[in-house]
Structure 1
Amino acid sequence: MRTGSIERSTAETAIRIEVNLDGTGRYDVSTGIGFLDHMVEQFAKHSLIDVTMKVTGDLHVDQHHTTEDSALALGQAILQALGDKAGIGRYGSAYSPMDETLARVSLDISGRPYLVWKAGFTQERLGEWDTELIEHWFHSIAQTAGITLHVELLYGTNNHHICESIYKGFARAMRVAVERDPRKGEAIPSTKGQLGG
Structure 2
Amino acid sequence: MIELSRTTKETDIQVRLEVYGQGAAKIDCGIGFFNHMLESLGKHSLMNLEICCKGDICVDFHHSVEDCGIVIGEALAQAIYPIKGIERFGNASVPMDEACVECDIDISNRPFLVFDTSAFNESFKGKVGDFDVELVEEFFRAVCFNARISVHLVLKRGKNLHHIIEAMFKAFAVSLRRALAHNERISIPSTKGVV
TM-score tier by shorter-chain length is over 0.9
* Matched position secondary structure for 1:111: coil
Whether 1:155 and 2:157 are equivalent positions in the alignment is: yes
Aligned to 1:191: 191
Contact 1:123–1:159 (8 Å) recurs in 2? no
> What is the DSSP-based 3-state SS (H/G/I as helix, E as strand, rest coil) of the residue aligned with 2:74?
helix
Query: How many residue pairs are counted as aligned between the two chains?
Result: 191
CA RMSD of aligned residues (A): 1.2
Stretches of structure 1 that go unaligned for 5 or more consecutive residues are none
Identity of aligned residues (%): 39
Aligned to 1:100: 98
Aligned partners of 1:28 and 1:51 also within 8 Å: yes
Residue 132 of structure 2 is matched in structure 1 by 130
After superposition, residues 81-100 of structure 1 pair within 5 angstroms as: 81-100=79-98
Between stretches 77-86 and 154-163, larger displacement belongs to 77-86
Residue 22 of structure 1 aligns with an amino acid whose one-letter code is Y
Counterpart position of 2:69: 71
TM-score, with length taken from structure 2: 0.94
Runs of 4+ residues deviating >6 angstroms: none
Q: Secondary structure at the match of 1:80?
A: helix
- Is there any run of 5+ residues in structure 2 with no aligned partner, and where? none
- Tell me the equivalent position of 2:15: 17
**What's the secondary structure of 2:193's corresponding residue?**
coil
* 1:112 match: 110
Please give the TM-score of this superposition, normalised by the length of structure 1: 0.93
Moved more, 122-131 or 7-16: 122-131
Matched AA of 2:16:
E
Query: For each residue in 1:22-72, what CA deviation from the matched residue of structure 2 results, as whole angstroms up to 9, or x when unmatched?
Result: 101000001111111100100110010110011001112111110100000
